[in-house]
Structure 1
């Protein structure tokens, strides 16, 4: 009896999935995977980053994947969340000790969580290059969908690396 119910549920789920996929088959609604890249311009550590719920490495590498439309359209948003370790080079007791575990409890209490919603910048035609999130001082971010490498003169974001946090952040 349980096997029959499971089989029925799976068949129903697969049917709904097929209908959903067929409903999204128009060119304007076609979706595909892309990479997320985080570039940290600060002296703090970015422990993790997520874009629309897709988790990425906060350390600067590309992470797979985020699902995005094949064709850009106005109104696309990115909900970005990230965690900052403001003192990544704090001196700690030796790993594996009770002192280290106590240190980490206190240290993690200083982690900061941030979020922002941003418009996803337009990309040309159907050439998607993923999203790159630039993490800046004062918990600001910039987002690009540029296909250019960050070191290219054509890359749209030119903020310097290893920026120090100002004494007072602008509002």
Structure 2
């Protein structure tokens, strides 16, 4: 039979209390009378609509996405309210498929990439959150002239009810409206 000392009994008593109280505290901390401040975790996805450019990275309120694809996670309000906005920041490679690039094993590659990266452009824009019922993650759409649209729609991109209708592979105009 194992021998239990007085100190071990005290520790076991405290562990028992913690295991009983911890779930109760966890449940109580999750209860919020103000549903408008409740946040949900969701995926963040990016869609580049501009032909011949590449989105290197983007962020929404500091939550990063990779290129024009999806990643996890971003915190979003469980309920929509008017005048909510997000800050979208992104970096564009205006020449993502250069024909003069040396191979990665070429000694000139590092110098080439430094010059190439000097042409990257960074943008930021405050975007209003459109009305939604149940959020299903955040989709960011990058359009010509550094325009950005977002949605929290549960519909798939190709569904007729998806709210953003701009086509893919749009040409960047020579001049953008101010």
TM-score where L is the length of structure 1:
0.81
Which of the residues 110, 118, 121 maps onto 1:101? 110
Aligned counterpart, 1:139: 146
Aligned counterpart, 2:21: none
Aligned-pair CA distance for 1:96: 3.0
Larger radius of gyration: 2
Q: How many residues align?
A: 149
Aligned counterpart, 1:33: 41
Alignment of 1:1-171 (within 5 A): 22=29, 25-26=32-33, 27-43=35-51, 44-59=53-68, 61-91=69-99, 92-124=101-133, 127-171=134-178
Q: Structure 1: give runs of 5+ residues left out of the alignment.
A: 1-17
Superposition RMSD in Å: 1.8
Secondary structure, counterpart of 1:98 in structure 2: coil
Q: Structure 2: give runs of 5+ residues left out of the alignment.
A: 1-24
Q: Could you say if the C-alpha distance between residues 112 and 24 of structure 1 is closer, same or farther in structure 2, counting changes exceeding 3 Å?
A: farther
Aligned-pair CA distance for 1:23: 9.5
Find the aligned partners of 2:119 and 2:83 in 1 and give their Cα distance: 35
TM-score where L is the length of structure 2:
0.78
